[in-house]
């Protein structure tokens, strides 16, 4: 029963995990509608995509090292340190007078929240009975859905009635409550050193590769932009080559190898968020700066995507059996293409109703197939790589959003769209940004054809 999560002293653990997940989701979406106002005020429109990229890169690195750090520091120390990092980032961003400090604050926020999210998942598995773990994860997913929908709406409301700074600083009481819960729920103990050394070099290479792609957006000339983008892609490719030969690997051996379900599936996990990042970054600021919408209205429309994702995921989970898994994966990827193409066509029309429909289609595309997609990737991995493949999904998803935000920023700056937004003008080029996102999603839809159902287990005689 669900109430068992709150009985026999489990309430503090359950609440800690849910609040950690909720703060992560709330902050990720809360700033989507406050950031446009912030960058317009401090003169940082060209760097709006960086606010997403820096945050996600920091979250990826911190989340990937959370298991290692938990073994050295213990869960309590790690969660407290991560909460203080997030608190620092919130204060820095919320009081910033320029774009540099906003980006520094977002980096600290991403590092703190990446570690918190990963540690909370480990905390649930460690502190709750195994029979209750699926229910705890389900409750955390519901908290994520509520925060994902409410975040843009709350961010818009706070920005409109108070200021964009309030949308950052509202996190302070939440993280304060989280710290109190950690002190109560997680016992103090020394972390015993265990496990192999974390491959910081390769993880740093991933972060540097993504940031080089982001740098291409503000490099100032076509030549420098191309050089930075190519260098970023080459560095990421080199990391994968080195990782496949390493004794301690970050990725399954067949990661991103075409011709395998695992490889094709991971490409889809990467490319679907990469394509959708175009609307995540530039739809809120387009609605507010070019269309003249208030932040609250823009937040409500942006939040519909997350709500549609959650609703579709619940609906497809109702039928029993796995025969719908592969069709749902392919149908979901195709829906994403339709939604992004629609967004590209609707932008010049300035139709809120049609853009709302596009957001529903985009969210439904993710909700229909995303859970099945991650299951297929994990099931296709060899036994020795299964845990690694299962844990890789969220990291690859975040990397997709980070690279997608960088790519969208490159298109917006090079096309002159960002300059137009800074002057509250619409030069009609938002369709280019969403259209390129649709092209990336189309590649994901094609690659989804390479995802195959796992063979049924042999009968035991």
Per DSSP, the residues of 96-122 read -SSHHHHHHHHHHHHHHHHHHHHHHHH
Residue 190 φ then ψ, to 5°: -75, 135
pLDDT of residue 191: 45
Q: Are the C-beta atoms of residues 211 and 195 closer than 8 Å to each other?
A: no
Task: Kindly tell me if the per-residue pLDDT of 21 is higher than 50.
Answer: yes
Kindly state the percentage of the chain with pLDDT values over 70.
Answer: 86
pLDDT of residue 428: 64
User: What global pTM score does this model have?
Assistant: 0.77
279 or 145, which is more confident: 279
Determine the topology of domain 7-188 in CATH: Growth Hormone; Chain: A; (1.20.1250)
Residue 456 confidence class, pLDDT cut points 50, 70, 90: very low
Q: Which of 271, 255, 259 is nearest to 333 (CA)?
A: 271
Q: Are the C-beta atoms of residues 128 and 10 closer than 8 Å to each other?
A: yes
pLDDT of residue 444: 95
pLDDT of residue 457: 42
Q: Which of 279, 266, 306, 205 is nearest to 397 (CA)?
A: 266
Window from 104-108, 269-273, 297-301, 388-392 with minimum mean pLDDT:
388-392
341 or 69, which is more confident: 341
195 or 58, which is more confident: 58
Determine the topology of domain 254-453 in CATH: Growth Hormone; Chain: A; (1.20.1250)
Stretch 16-20: mean pLDDT: 83
CA 236 → CA 80, 203, 232, 257, distances in Å?
32, 10, 6, 14
Task: Kindly tell me if the per-residue pLDDT of 218 is higher than 80.
Answer: no
What would the pLDDT profile of 299-314 be if each residue is shown by its tens digit?
889 888 888 887 887 7
Residue 54 confidence class, pLDDT cut points 50, 70, 90: confident
269 or 148, which is more confident: 269
Contacts of 426 (CB under 8 A, 6+ apart): 286, 290, 291, 420
Alpha-carbon span 183 to 177, nearest angstrom: 10
pLDDT of residue 318: 63
């Amino acid at each position: 029963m669900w109430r068992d999560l709150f009985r026999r002293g489990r309430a503090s653990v359950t609440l800690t995990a849910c609040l950690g997940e909720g703060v992560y989701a709330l902050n990720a979406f809360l700033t989507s509608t406050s950031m446009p106002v912030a960058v317009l005020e401090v003169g940082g429109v060209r760097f709006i995509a960086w606010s997403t990229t820096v945050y996600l890169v920091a979250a990826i690195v911190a989340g990937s090292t959370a298991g290692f750090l938990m073994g050295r520091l213990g869960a309590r120390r790690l969660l407290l340190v991560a909460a203080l990092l997030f608190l620092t980032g919130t204060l820095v961003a919320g009081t910033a007078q320029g774009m540099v400090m906003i980006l520094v604050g977002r980096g600290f926020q991403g590092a703190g929240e990446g570690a918190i999210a990963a540690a909370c998942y480990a905390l649930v598995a460690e502190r709750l009975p195994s029979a209750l773990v699926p229910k705890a994860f389900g409750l955390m997913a519901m908290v994520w859905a509520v925060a994902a929908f409410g975040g843009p709406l709350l961010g818009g409301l706070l920005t409109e009635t108070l200021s964009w700074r309030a949308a950052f600083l509202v996190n302070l009481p939440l993280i304060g409550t989280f710290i109190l819960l950690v002190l109560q729920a997680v016992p103090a103990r020394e972390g015993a050193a265990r496990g192999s050394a974390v491959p910081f070099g390769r993880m740093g290479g991933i972060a540097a590769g993504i940031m080089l792609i982001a740098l291409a957006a503000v490099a100032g000339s076509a030549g420098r932009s191309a050089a930075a983008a190519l260098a970023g892609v080459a560095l990421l490719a080199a990391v994968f080559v080195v990782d496949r030969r390493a004794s301690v690997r970050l990725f399954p051996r067949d990661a991103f190898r075409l011709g395998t379900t695992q490889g094709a599936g991971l490409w889809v996990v990467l490319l679907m968020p990469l394509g959708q990042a175009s609307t995540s970054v530039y739809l809120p600021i387009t609605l507010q700066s070019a269309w003249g919408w208030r932040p609250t209205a823009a937040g409500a429309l942006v939040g519909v995507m997350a709500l549609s994702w959650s609703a579709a995921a619940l609906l497809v989970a109702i039928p029993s059996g796995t025969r719908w898994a592969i069709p749902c994966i392919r149908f979901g990827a195709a829906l994403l293409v339709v939604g992004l193409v629609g967004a590209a066509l609707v932008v010049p029309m300035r139709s809120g109703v049609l853009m709302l429909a596009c957001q529903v289609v985009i969210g439904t595309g993710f909700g229909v197939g995303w859970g099945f997609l991650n299951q297929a990737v994990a099931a296709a991995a060899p036994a020795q790589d299964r845990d690694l493949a299962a844990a890789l999904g969220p990291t690859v998803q975040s990397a997709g959003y980070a690279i997608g935000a960088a790519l969208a920023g490159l298109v917006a700056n090079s096309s002159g769209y960002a300059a137009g937004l800074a002057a509250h003008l619409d030069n009609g080029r938002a369709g280019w940004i969403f259209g390129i996102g649709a092209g990336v999603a189309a590649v994901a839809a094609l690659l989804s054809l390479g995802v195959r159902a796992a063979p049924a287990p042999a009968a035991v005689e």
